[in-house]
Amino acid sequence: MGASLNPEQRAAVEHGDGPLLVLAGAGTGKTRVLVHRIARLVERGVAPWEILAVTFTNKAAGEMRHRLGELLGEQVVYRMWIGTFHATCARLLRRYGEAIGLPRDFLIFDDDDQQRTVTALLKAEGMADQIGARTLLSRFDHCKNRGIDPAKFASGTYVDDVAMVIYPKYQAQLAREKAVDFGDIILKVLELGRHPEVGPRLRTMFRHVLVDEFQDTNLVQYELVRMLAEGTRNLTVVGDDDQSIYAWRGAEPRNLLDFDRDFPDVVEVKLEQNYRSTSTILDAANAVIAKNFDRRGKALWTEEGGGDPIAYYPAGDDRGEADWVARTLRELVDDGACSPGDACILYRTNAQSRELEVQLKRYRFEPRVVGATAFFDRKEVKDVIAYLRLIANADADSALERVINVPPRGIGDATVDKLRAHARARGEGLLAAVRDVVSGGSSLGPGPRKKLAAFLPILDGLGDVAAGGASLAELVIQVVERSGYRAYLEGEDDGNDRMGNLAQLVNVASDFDEETKGEGSLAELLERIALTGAADDKDGRGETITMMTIHMAKGLEFEIVFLCGLEDGLFPSLRPRDGIDEHAAVEEERRLAYVALTRARRRLFLSHARLRRVWGDVKQQVPSRFLDDIPAACFATPPRSLRAAAAAAPPRPRPAPAGKPRRPAWDEHDQRSYDDDLPTFDVDADLRNDDGDRGGRFAPGATVRHAAFGPGRVVATSGDGWQQRVVVEFASVGAKTVDARWLQPG
């Protein structure tokens, strides 16, 4: 075992007890090291159930199990603890949660459940017109990831006042429904760690704790792994500070950078030999990331040859850029240099995808945009899951609110409002309120009462199916049939496609039945579904062109990568970010560029546009500072000083080619013009080219209107004149930071 490991990999695998930090650059075989280290621990006599390996995605956990199964056998791996942070904590809570008052059959609220609950609470408190549920939930999540009580967090805005009212009620509603949200899952295990009986057991439960992608951990996750490894101090963390790109969702790079502060006796191993990319691509990536100051130094290298030079294309506008990408791909595929599944197009923001899709289809490609609605987020799937949640837990009010009129059965919002009021008055759940109303326990009119009376037998019948020992797959089928969902979809234009999604949900349940040999509970199936993230469905290749944001591409690799939109203000984004200073923000953008460049194995294509449509205006763009960082020797034709070229006049307009697409020279600087048909993109551009003085008019509390987001209320402002930035709470999309020039008084 491990005969093909390089010296640094072997040093990490053979490390004995005590803390270990493995700095693993992109493509250096970190998963191989983790798998072989775990196998080596078992060889040395560590029991499988004494090993905990934590990952960030179910896909990564599955890959680890598969590789270990090949080395040790599935029966050995089955007894290990391998899973995501949330799956691991949910498993611990099922086992020990009753010690802190959490029942074994607790449910996990997904994003939709949380939003429905907070929306209902805001409405009950008369605050629905003051703030959006998304804004509050973002605040709750921000605080929970840092171990802060959201009701006590003070940032100086009126959001704090609302949070102080809503958060305790939100947590009380979760408790009443025997539920937790994602942030609570880890916090509850930390609470278990403080329990006088369970805490010592958790601290000595695992002889070895191993954490993958450690640079992505937040403060609470770090506290968790420290607690679980406290008894033995056998903590192995694997990560790359140069790939820490999730500060916006709570990741704390200092967990890795300062690891030796908490573990001064740590052994550090650097993995720098890359097995993925050519030396040309690595030279470019190393040069870009070397400009960051706050990092542990390392440089990727490979034994492979230099490889093809990087192709660079300064397009005239965003349409010309998209056309160049599609033309180049068509040439590569037609010449047999690659198949469509070998290529990926990366961009900084989702808004860039539209024009790329249009041009790819023009060149006979079928683009696959990763990040579109995930399977478990599709309406019909979420509706049926809500029925299942209600079957599993009669107190799941948010699930009842979702399905009480789905499919439509004439039960309107006014009736639901009265049910809420009745439930609050009696201190009971909504389903209990429905039963009480149907039996004549309220002044609700005969029409609504009759409709509610017709709804109850559906739920009771499904409860009987579940109690009667039906398989979970059969239960899903019965939900679709008895609820009337099948008949409802038969009358819809897209009914066949949506029924196909529900058929897939039956397959999910059937697979779970088979995996658990029919012994898995409905609560466990719902937990599996709740913990399945969109990131686990991001690596389908097929014979299509894959498109995704750089954030979605982390952990993936492709033979050929196109990186588009390399413009200051777009990439790097220059948008102000709450809680992150400008220096830290640019360093994270540089790490994002490093991730993007190192996704490529053989070929790398870089592009930007001199003109880009932003909110209906055409803006002259400045080439990204990251392009200047790449050595000229990496390019086929070294570009002239890019930032100096930004002062040059816009390119001479010329019409787009007609007829058969011409074959491009990849280093040809073909400048295309913009026209009135260019689409409007929502990008994080710095609108610095508008010399008008339309800002400075908005104060907190003022009502405003935005062309795309509609009406909203000003929360805070920064800057003045044409540089004024305004934080607005929009009724449609929650809080957004926008340029004052795009707002009109309400």
115 has catalytic annotation: no
Beta bridge mates, 561: 344, 604
H helices of 306-409, in order, are 318-334, 353-362, 379-392, 397-403
* H/E element, 473: helix 472-482
From 514, 511, 600, select the one nearest 550 (Cα to Cα): 600
Torsion angle of alpha carbons 147, 552, 529, 143, nearest 10°? 10
E strand spans, 340-462: 343-347, 367-369
DSSP character at residue 370: T
Beta bridge mates, 20: 236, 267
Q: Return d(Cα 594, Cα 638) in angstroms, integer.
A: 20
* Active-site entry in 243, 280, 328, 532: 243
Q: Return d(Cα 227, Cα 733) in angstroms, integer.
A: 38
Q: Return d(Cα 276, Cα 207) in angstroms, integer.
A: 33
H helices of 108-243, in order, are 111-124, 133-144, 158-176, 182-193, 198-203, 219-228
E strand spans, 190-331: 208-211, 235-239, 267-271, 311-317
Q: Return d(Cα 681, Cα 703) in angstroms, integer.
A: 25
Structure tokens at 581: 């200073």
516 has catalytic annotation: no
Q: How many helices (H) and strands (E) does the chain have?
A: 29, 22
Residue linked to tokens 């300062």: 258
30 has catalytic annotation: yes
Question: In a 3-state reduction of DSSP, which class is residue 367?
Answer: strand
Measured between alpha carbons, how far apart are the two ends of the chain, in Å? 69
* Active-site entry in 295, 298, 599, 603: 599
**Strands 710-718 and 703-706, bridge-based pairing:** antiparallel
* Active-site entry in 212, 568, 587, 739: 212
Q: Return d(Cα 439, Cα 171) in angstroms, integer.
A: 30
* Active-site entry in 113, 181, 213, 588: 213
List CB contacts of 669: < 8 A, sequence separation 6 or more. Answer: 313, 314
Could you write out the three-class secondary structure of 550-585? Answer: HHHHCCCCEEEEEECCCEEEECCECCCECCECHHHH
**Cα distances (Å, whole numbers) of residue 697 to 117, 339, 689, 702, 744:** 36, 54, 20, 10, 9
How many alpha carbons fall within 13 Å on the CB side of residue 322? 27
Other C-beta atoms lying within 10 Å of the C-beta of residue 17: 12
**Cα distances (Å, whole numbers) of residue 177 to 117, 170, 376, 385, 455:** 11, 11, 21, 16, 21
DSSP character at residue 439: T
212 has catalytic annotation: yes
H helices of 21-110, in order, are 30-43, 58-72, 74-78, 85-96
720 has catalytic annotation: no
Positions marked catalytic: 30-31, 212-213, 243, 599
